[in-house]
Amino acid sequence: MIRFTSRRKAFFAAAFLFAAPALILAKGGETRMRTSLAGGAIAGLTPSGHADYRASEGRARLNVEVEDVNLAAGAKVSVTVDGQEIGSITIGAAPVRGGELELNTQDGQSVPALKTGAVVVVRNGETAILGGVLN
């Protein structure tokens, strides 16, 4: 079970409320959802990122990018959506200190069917370091 400190709970609650991502129904019935990912500082560096989901007519793509994650190069962080792990990101070297997870059904990968309000969390072990809500 993941335990959040009161400070971390308040931070994630504020991040979720003020991220203000938008749901867009594009031409052709495409669903697009996006969120900024926010988290508390790690050893003096504040990580950031975003998650982007697109789906239409049997195709889907989910992209999660992070940067300024102050962990050792080569560290793996997990990506969860609504509590289910969907993949991992290997953190690159400074100055970016980030990485990307891209899942695409056109590449034969499994992409979860997501709805507005899905919670995306990036974790280092059991510790949530970034989070956001797709809208």
pLDDT average, residue stretch 115-129: 98
Residue-wise pLDDT tens digits, 48-101: 999 999 999 989 999 999 999 999 999 999 999 999 999 999 999 999 999 999
- The pTM of this model reads 0.80
Residue 62: which domain range?
6-133
- At 116 the pLDDT is 97
Of residues 40 and 26, more confidence is placed in 40
Q: Output the average pLDDT for the chain.
A: 86
CA dihedral 32, 62, 99, 23 (to 10 degrees): 20
- Number of folded domains in the chain? 1
Count of all residues that appear for the chain in the document:
135
- 89, two tokens: 């990101």
41 in a structural domain: yes
- At 25 the pLDDT is 44
1 in a structural domain: no
